[in-house]
């Protein structure tokens, strides 16, 4: 299948992407940019393309003869895609924003009524239809809606029954194919040249004019994700801006109950930027990631950030499922997850930014 072949080519390109053209001024910050790009960002997007391609291919085989076991397997594959996507949000830099991949892959919320109208309509349901739709009628959240819910007004008792409708299956397949193509193109943007542009500030056609601009971009992406987790994924549903009244309709990934797992994956992405792809502190003189820059003069901040991320991840994993129920009840566990998320946000926005001399930029809240 096309998706599998393309992913194999992207994997082969990771090594090539690691060989940037820079041969001068390979200082710690430039080295950190290269390591983050080559060992975290590029492999992260290649992995995302792989699992989305596998989901689209599996759906093509399973949807025509869908049963409970096949549906459960497709749902598990969706969860793997969702986690891979959330990990990449720690490096929301470059093509994912500049070329609007983000909105096409994972816009939230879903326009359920329009999706149902398209499924119930008479227009041919194929990729051409999906490509003409707005972001809220395609992408990961729409795939979740179709895979995990019975749908609005379908009369079905569960998603398996709802997906007995051939137009609904066709819409789901077209959405999954579109996601796979988008993530493959996103990975190709990095392996096909952006990785070298990212790693070599100041050179012709570089992504950044200076090394400082590159580090600023990385840290700002981290700050944005920490803010997004604390304020949007947890704070808003808990009623942080509505006088403490829970707003359960703001819980993300609601049909799959993946909201807490979304947050855990986001923390994994942040930890990879800090310490590398395995998320573990490296030996002195090892590969330089964000922690190596902090440890030059502020090793206590690197240790604090590790502890904060670990504590926050543990706290959200401890929240009972479904997350919507925990939010509605404002359980002690979900309050603890929010408290630790705000601690992570504060550490990035104050300690990390100050230690590295980063210039904070405005972060929008588009996409997911």
**pLDDT above 80 for 214:** yes
Task: Residue 147: name the closest of 249, 260, 248, 58 by CA.
Answer: 58
Residues in the chain: 368
User: Which pLDDT band, with edges at 50, 70 and 90, does 113 fall under?
Assistant: very high
Provide DSSP, 188-256: HHIIIIIHHHHH-TTSTT-S-SSHHHHHHHHHHHHHHHHHIIIIIIIITTTTTTTTT---GGG-SSTTT
- How far is the C-alpha of 61 from the C-alpha of 197, rounded, in Å? 39
Phi-psi label, residue 22: left if phi above 0, alpha if psi -120 to 50, beta otherwise = beta
pLDDT tens for 215-267 read 999 999 999 999 999 999 999 999 999 999 999 999 999 999 999 999 999 99
pLDDT tens for 306-343 read 999 999 999 999 999 999 999 999 999 999 999 999 99
Residues 6+ positions from 152 with CB-CB distance below 8 Å: 112, 113, 116
The pLDDT score that the predictor gives to residue 26 is 53
**pLDDT above 80 for 191:** yes
Q: What is the CATH number of domain 211-356?
A: 1.20.1420.20
Q: What is the CATH number of domain 2-199?
A: 1.20.1420.20
Q: What residues does each domain of the chain span?
A: 2-199, 211-356
- How far is the C-alpha of 297 from the C-alpha of 311, rounded, in Å? 24
Task: Verify cis geometry, omega within 30 degrees of 0, for the bond prior to 367.
Answer: no
**Percent of the chain residues topping a pLDDT of 70:** 90
Question: Residues 235-259, buried b or exposed e (16+ Cβ, 10 A)?
Answer: bbbbbbeeeeebebebbbbbbbbbb
- Token digits for 287? 């590969």
- Token digits for 206? 């570089």
Q: Do domains 2-199 and 211-356 have the same CATH topology?
A: yes
**pLDDT above 70 for 276:** yes
User: Which pLDDT band, with edges at 50, 70 and 90, does 284 fall under?
Assistant: low
């Amino acid at each position: 299948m096309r998706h599998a072949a393309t992913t194999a080519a992207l994997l082969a390109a990771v090594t090539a992407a690691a060989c940037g053209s820079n041969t001068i001024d390979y200082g710690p910050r430039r080295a950190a940019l290269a390591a983050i790009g080559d060992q975290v960002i590029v492999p992260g997007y290649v992995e995302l393309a792989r699992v989305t391609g596998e989901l689209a291919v599996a759906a093509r085989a399973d949807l025509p003869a869908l049963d409970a076991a096949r549906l459960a397997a497709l749902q598990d594959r969706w969860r793997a895609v969702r986690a891979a996507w959330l990990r990449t949000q720690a490096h929301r830099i470059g093509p994912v924003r500049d070329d609007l991949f983000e909105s096409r892959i994972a816009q939230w919320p879903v326009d359920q009524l329009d999706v149902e109208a398209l499924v119930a309509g008479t227009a041919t349901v194929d990729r051409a239809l999906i490509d003409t739709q707005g972001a809220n009628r395609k992408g990961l959240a729409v795939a979740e809606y179709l895979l995990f819910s019975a749908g609005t007004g379908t009369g079905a008792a569960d998603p398996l029954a709802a997906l007995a409708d051939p137009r609904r299956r066709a819409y789901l397949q077209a959405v999954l194919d579109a996601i796979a193509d988008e993530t493959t193109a996103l990975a190709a943007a990095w392996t096909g040249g952006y990785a070298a542009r990212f790693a070599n500030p100041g050179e012709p056609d570089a992504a950044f004019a200076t090394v400082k601009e590159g580090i600023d971009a990385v840290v700002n992406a981290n700050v944005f994700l920490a803010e997004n987790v604390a304020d949007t994924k947890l704070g808003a549903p808990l009623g942080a801006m509505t006088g403490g009244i829970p707003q359960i309709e703001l819980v993300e990934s609601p049909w799959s109950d993946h909201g807490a797992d979304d947050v855990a994956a986001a923390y994994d992405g942040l930890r990879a930027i800090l310490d590398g792809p395995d998320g573990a502190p490296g030996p002195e003189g090892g590969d330089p990631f964000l922690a190596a820059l902090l440890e030059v003069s502020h090793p206590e901040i690197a240790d604090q950030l590790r502890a904060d991320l670990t504590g926050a991840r543990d706290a959200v994993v401890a929240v009972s499922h479904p997350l919507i129920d925990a939010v509605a009840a404002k359980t002690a566990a979900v309050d603890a997850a929010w408290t630790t998320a705000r601690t992570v946000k504060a550490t990035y926005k104050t300690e990390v930014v100050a230690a590295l001399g980063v210039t904070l930029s405005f972060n929008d809240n588009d996409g997911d």
